[in-house]
Amino acid sequence: MKTSVATVAVLALATLGFTSVQAADPKPKEFQRLVDAAYAKFKNLQDGKNADYIPILTKTPSELFGVVIATRDGKIYTAGDVDYKFSIQSVSKPFTAALVMTQQSPEVLDAKIGVEPTGLPFNSRLAIETYKDKRSVNPLVNAGAIAAVSLVQANSEAERWNLILQNISDFAGSPVPLTVLEDVYDSEYTTAFGNRAIANLLYNYERLYSEPEEAMRVYTRQCSIGVSARDLAIMGATLANQGVNPLTKKRVMRAEDVPELLAIMATAGFYDESGEWMYTAGLPAKTGVGGGIVAVVPGRFAIAAFSPRLNEAGNSVRALNAIRFISGELGVGVFGPNPM
């Protein structure tokens, strides 16, 4: 009995070792076939609805859908609406967490924000009260992301904003600088009473590191940056490429900080659906209420998708299905090929 368990364990480890060390990337034709297949398979899916708590997001055409794979050596495979600019929303959060790690350290991020998944919705106030010793809980929920913005080291609000925009632009490596969708900013900032409550609560508990309304302005601007699915894929490919943008070759974060960032994305990138996501797709990822999602196959490539209709947890239905499908077809889940 003991022998057979040991044998199974050795075989399992050998398989895992083989998968992570020796697996060759698919051929370009296979990548292209899969983005086309994912697009075709889910383009008629009508489930979910556009986010409406940020009023202007109801106006994004719901049928838009794009799927992109970007590899660590800068090759890009696309299907559908991959150049439409939508608001990045929460997909910005891991990248500003990366900036905090770069300016300070992963230890500071853990000590001043926390890295624990909440199991609660992304805009939860309850999480802040429930996990009192976990700071603002983690940088991928609204509370932790507002705190992350306030933790960026700068001498003024303008400098803090410029550092955040420059950092996200460096991850995207776009030849045209990224800009804020001002109508999205206005729509969110004038209705962000829930986030304002969060910022004030954090300030009250000394877990916010700038004046609350300043953090609100910078955080809301960050969420309103316009990106395309193509931009998101390159941002993810920069993480797959250990922090070096595959197009510009610029190092955007330290290679040794990438595993910590991917760990947070794996445990909290889909909010209270993160367990379900890792169980079925097996990839660190981040979603946003604008309809974008980026997932990372560590050391290899990124898969991004965009479509505005969201499920109850605030995750794009078509985008999550497309990425999960590609992950499953390629068998690239980080713990080994996922069964679904």
Q: What track of x and - describes contact with ligand DON for positions 163 through 202 (by CB under 6 A)?
A: -------------------------x------x-------
Q: Where are the alpha helices (DSSP H) in the chain?
A: 2-17, 28-42, 93-103, 106-112, 126-130, 142-151, 157-172, 182-189, 193-204, 212-223, 229-240, 258-268, 274-280, 317-330
Min separation Cβ 260 and ligand DON, Å: 21
Q: Where are the alpha helices (DSSP H) in 18-105?
A: 28-42, 93-103
The answer to whether 128 and 205 have CB atoms below 8 angstroms apart is yes
Min separation Cβ 270 and ligand DON, Å: 8
The one among 143, 199, 223, 240 contacting ligand DON by CB under 6 A: 223
The candidate with the shortest Cα–Cα distance to 267, out of 259, 255, 275, is: 275
By beta carbon distance, the residue nearest ligand DON is 90
Query: Does 289 sit near ligand DON (CB under 6 A)?
Result: yes
Min separation Cβ 223 and ligand DON, Å: 3
Query: Does 150 sit near ligand DON (CB under 6 A)?
Result: no
The candidate with the shortest Cα–Cα distance to 68, out of 296, 308, 263, 226, is: 296
Nearer to ligand DON, 84 or 122 (CB): 122
Cα 31 to Cα 326: distance, rounded to the nearest angstrom: 9
C-alpha 96 chain-centroid distance? 11
Q: Coil, strand, or helix at residue 128?
A: helix
Q: Coil, strand, or helix at residue 334?
A: strand
Nearer to ligand DON, 199 or 252 (CB): 199
Query: Does 142 sit near ligand DON (CB under 6 A)?
Result: yes
Query: Does 288 sit near ligand DON (CB under 6 A)?
Result: yes
Only segment of 127-135, 163-171, 173-181, 284-292 that touches ligand DON (CB under 6 A): 284-292
> How many residues bind to ligand DON according to rule CB under 6 A?
13
The answer to whether 285 and 270 have CB atoms below 8 angstroms apart is yes
Nearer to ligand DON, 202 or 330 (CB): 202
Min separation Cβ 102 and ligand DON, Å: 22
Nearer to ligand DON, 243 or 308 (CB): 308
The answer to whether 286 and 90 have CB atoms below 8 angstroms apart is yes
- Cα–Cα distances (Å) from 21 to 15, 16, 48, 238, 334, in that order, read 10, 8, 39, 19, 12
Handedness of CA 277, 99, 291, 169 (dihedral sign): negative
Only segment of 35-43, 66-74, 161-169, 286-294 that touches ligand DON (CB under 6 A): 286-294
**Segment 295 to 334, residues that bind ligand DON, using CB under 6 A:** 314-315
Query: Does 78 sit near ligand DON (CB under 6 A)?
Result: no
Min separation Cβ 261 and ligand DON, Å: 17
For the beta carbon of residue 62, count every other beta carbon within 10 angstroms.
16
- Residues making contact with ligand DON (CB under 6 A): 89-90, 122-123, 142, 188, 195, 223, 287-289, 314-315
